[in-house]
Structure 1
């Protein structure tokens, strides 16, 4: 990856078993000038190892925990039919498996291209999809942003917090299945989880956020240094290098083939299943959504001439126009105004005038209509998958065709504009943010109390010990990743990372209950389980 830095060996404290190094393609395919080449024979036992990985993930307590972690809003907030992180993960896995099976089917023209890339293993794809959201903290993306702010501002953790990086940390360090930490997964599965194979800042060099055309997720957000998305903390960077070492032919910032399938499946599932939830909850109001779409279609030529500073979500049609401009600016490689307009028209016809025009009333007919809409769109998007030997940096080897890509962008827009920007959801989330802040405040004070610190939860103290050992290794082998190696600052960073690892491992309900205990609001003392 970055030639300017010396990459240390894996940070594991004990040797891993050999199975960890089975790649999806055991020796990299030779790649000539045309990107082709011969693939080598599959490693003996790789199929069994991949299936073992899949079962290790499904039996992990971190996987079970996802049933009690918010996708967007909890069942208490919107009814029992809403998705949680586990139901979302199961559906992503289903979509990913369907895509992987289709593109590897004998006779499918996409298979010939995959063979030139070394193939695509459907079981590795399923394992990556099963793992992809393990790192999400309580309260979904809201929790992610709160813990990121606390990590950076309170504990001086330059790489903050990110659900993708937390997932990789769970797989390689925090899960307790293997004596050395983590699940001891094959390199293929670990690499397939790395949607953003870089650290937030510092690695590799040059850092992708500094490139003229950074990969998707690698650009900065205009406020904080480094990438907006990343897949490994500094503590786990060596593990990331180790996993990707099984693919010496893979460009430094590129996803593996299996990872790109998982990423597409996540986009498809996210674009549809959250709409499913909020139609059931009655949040997506037909008139409001329809007005936005009709006004843009009727006035697109005029809106295209508007000064960008005058665009406002208060005027129907202008939010869609702002989206069109963002796509043109960020993704000119695929942006197409005709495809955008066709996508707006298709979503208006199918989603708005089709599904939303009849309010959801809980009847079997309403369920059939919702199921029919979701099924048809899933089939349509899964069939619109393509394979590219040399994709744009913001895309992957497996991706959506341009028209489907625009349709997913429009479906996501409906969710973001008409759900995530609602004041009532913001009010709800601000309360959740206070819960997480209270947890950090309470545990921070507890750990600072010399009389009571030894009685802190054992898992919390173990996570701090893991982080302490990790920062010590970095200080010895990779000091350029740290702002300083001052012992006091190192201890503060280790405590912060361990504390955030602990809080991120809680379910929504456990976070609420623990915060109540911290503030003396809970009356019941003994509770079975006690968290992870």
Structure 2
């Protein structure tokens, strides 16, 4: 009897490895992810702002645990419906263990300092090291589970099943060259596939694999051929992606209420002004609206217009107005009306808000047989979809765009840039090469082997946006050195990054550090 192709691992091994406690292959995958040090380090990686040991803010670990919880709940609800269960079976299958494993793994590739660190390392990777793939957290996640983690039985990646590897691929394409035709060329590209408006020629803004891991992408997607389009997420990836959106929309609101950053007055003014003058705001031309953006209601009107421009497949003005009204009633007039003071009453109100909204949004999840290119097969009903957009708007407008956060992040960006410079200089110091951190040395050797193979077998993958080919041993060695430094720095926690730079700058009197080890 042929094994289920969804359970196949890289070496086509169907028996549990010596380290597995579970006989179920998907449960074993979940366990392999949980015991990985890359998973443990997420407890020291920023979600939005550094938790600095506080129990009041989520970090990437607690976020991942909540995403996993929501992903399992979504999976179980969909499978409980006969119609949904039949449809997901036709689309390639849905197993709660696979969705949960993908949710636990989805942020493994996030570097120190969260999305800010991702942007800095991408810029360095492309501009300093000429890496055509740059850096992307989702692609780094896939690289970790297939290549740089060594806790699997083959000491190369975690040797996960095809289903779990495919479920981690939130954006199943490379930045520039794969597949051909690239989804960025579609009339309406999938979410994340289009190039950034401010960086033409750089490739997709989001992607889930570097050129070095494309063979694993192809192998993991093979069981789903003919069931979903090449650019579409698997059902389990779509569950993970939806769960990530829901958890993010709710718990970041909760976090910044608890520490007093999300204030009642400005949020109430923004939502109330839009609700009271929606028709007048809709009549403003784009230039006038942009000029008045700091006035209440204008940013929310800009959101409504962006939704029409990008997501015409689902956007509805009545649903948007109902979403704003509901969130004003439950968030502004409910949760934010009473400042968080640490009391039992305040804790209960926060927990009740989180639980109520989690249930509402999870209950709004549906399976679509033929979704828009902008959506996965697993999506939200119209009402809940609009509510998530408004909740995420509140977080962005009243937390992410605060000048205090920008000041903090500029310092973190400078720290990461200086750290990469210092490590690159160390790699170039022949007198000190023998004393490199062993982990960094191993990453250089790994990347060297990978890029030499690509130069022989698929040189087009080493061509960046400029179109200039990579030629010669030194050029390949330079790419490998750059990828190794980026791999090393991205695998640090926030605290390790700070500590390592202190050591390299002579500011630390401590000769031994865990900053070298992962």
> Taking structure 2 as the reference length, what is the TM-score of the superposition?
0.92
> 1:158 matched to which residue of 2?
132
Alpha-carbon distance, 1:73 to partner: 0.9
Contact 1:19–1:49 under 8 Å retained in 2:
no
Distance 2:162 2:369 in 1: 22
Alpha-carbon distance, 1:259 to partner: 0.6
Task: Look up the SS of the partner of 2:224 in the other structure.
Answer: coil
Task: Look up the SS of the partner of 2:322 in the other structure.
Answer: helix
Contact 2:92–2:234 under 8 Å retained in 1:
no
Contact 1:128–1:262 under 8 Å retained in 2:
yes
Contact 1:21–1:186 under 8 Å retained in 2:
no
Distance 1:528 1:245 in 2: 40
> 1:331 matched to which residue of 2?
311
Distance 1:528 1:268 in 2: 35
Contact 1:20–1:186 under 8 Å retained in 2:
no
Q: Deviations over 1:103-130 (max 9, x none)?
A: 112x543223223324311110111001
Instruction: Give unmatched runs, 5+ long, in structure 2.
Output: 1-8, 17-21, 464-468
Alpha-carbon distance, 1:76 to partner: 2.7
Distance 2:501 2:427 in 1: 16
Contact 2:335–2:350 under 8 Å retained in 1:
yes
Match status 1:92 vs 2:67: yes
> 2:12 matched to which residue of 1?
18
Match status 1:55 vs 2:49: no
> 1:420 matched to which residue of 2?
400
Distance 1:21 1:204 in 2: 32
> 1:195 matched to which residue of 2?
170
Partner residue of 1:73 out of 20, 37, 49: 49
> 1:485 matched to which residue of 2?
470
> 2:19 matched to which residue of 1?
none
Q: Deviations over 1:10-32 (max 9, x none)?
A: xxxxx94313799xxxxxxxxxx
> 2:116 matched to which residue of 1?
142
Deviates more, 1:280-289 or 1:304-313: 304-313
Match status 1:397 vs 2:377: yes
Alpha-carbon distance, 1:180 to partner: 4.8
Q: How many residues align?
A: 493
Alpha-carbon distance, 1:159 to partner: 1.3
Distance 2:15 2:338 in 1: 53
Contact 1:151–1:500 under 8 Å retained in 2:
yes
Alpha-carbon distance, 1:455 to partner: 1.2
Runs of 4+ in structure 1 displaced over 4 angstroms?
Answer: none
Q: Deviations over 1:90-148 (max 9, x none)?
A: 0000000001011112x543223223324311110111001000000000001000000
Contact 2:149–2:155 under 8 Å retained in 1:
no
Distance 1:525 1:311 in 2: 56
Alpha-carbon distance, 1:201 to partner: 0.7
Partner residue of 1:129 out of 90, 93, 103: 103
Q: Deviations over 1:420-477 (max 9, x none)?
A: 0000000011111111111101011111111012211111111111111111111111
Distance 1:238 1:258, change over 3 A: same
Task: Look up the SS of the partner of 1:517 in the other structure.
Answer: helix
Task: Look up the SS of the partner of 1:399 in the other structure.
Answer: strand
Partner residue of 1:524 out of 507, 510, 516: 510
Contact 1:19–1:186 under 8 Å retained in 2:
no
Distance 2:92 2:204 in 1: 29
Distance 1:88 1:126 in 2: 13
Match status 1:274 vs 2:252: yes
Partner residue of 2:281 out of 303, 315, 330: 303
> 1:256 matched to which residue of 2?
234
Distance 1:493 1:20 in 2: 36
> Taking structure 1 as the reference length, what is the TM-score of the superposition?
0.90
Alpha-carbon distance, 1:74 to partner: 1.3
Alpha-carbon distance, 1:479 to partner: 1.4
Distance 1:117 1:210, change over 3 A: closer
RMSD of the TM alignment (CA)?
A: 1.7
Distance 1:21 1:240, change over 3 A: farther
Partner residue of 1:318 out of 298, 302, 311: 298
Q: Deviations over 1:464-513 (max 9, x none)?
A: 11111111111111111122231222111111111000000001100000
Distance 1:196 1:461, change over 3 A: same
Distance 1:321 1:399 in 2: 24
Alpha-carbon distance, 1:47 to partner: 7.1
Distance 2:499 2:443 in 1: 21
Match status 1:243 vs 2:243: no
Task: Look up the SS of the partner of 1:386 in the other structure.
Answer: strand
Distance 2:52 2:242 in 1: 30
Contact 2:500–2:515 under 8 Å retained in 1:
no
Contact 1:20–1:185 under 8 Å retained in 2:
no
Distance 1:50 1:175 in 2: 18
Contact 2:10–2:160 under 8 Å retained in 1:
no
Q: Deviations over 1:229-251 (max 9, x none)?
A: 00001111221111111221231
Contact 1:16–1:180 under 8 Å retained in 2:
no
> 2:90 matched to which residue of 1?
116
Contact 2:497–2:515 under 8 Å retained in 1:
no
Match status 1:470 vs 2:450: yes
Match status 1:513 vs 2:507: no
Distance 2:52 2:94 in 1: 40
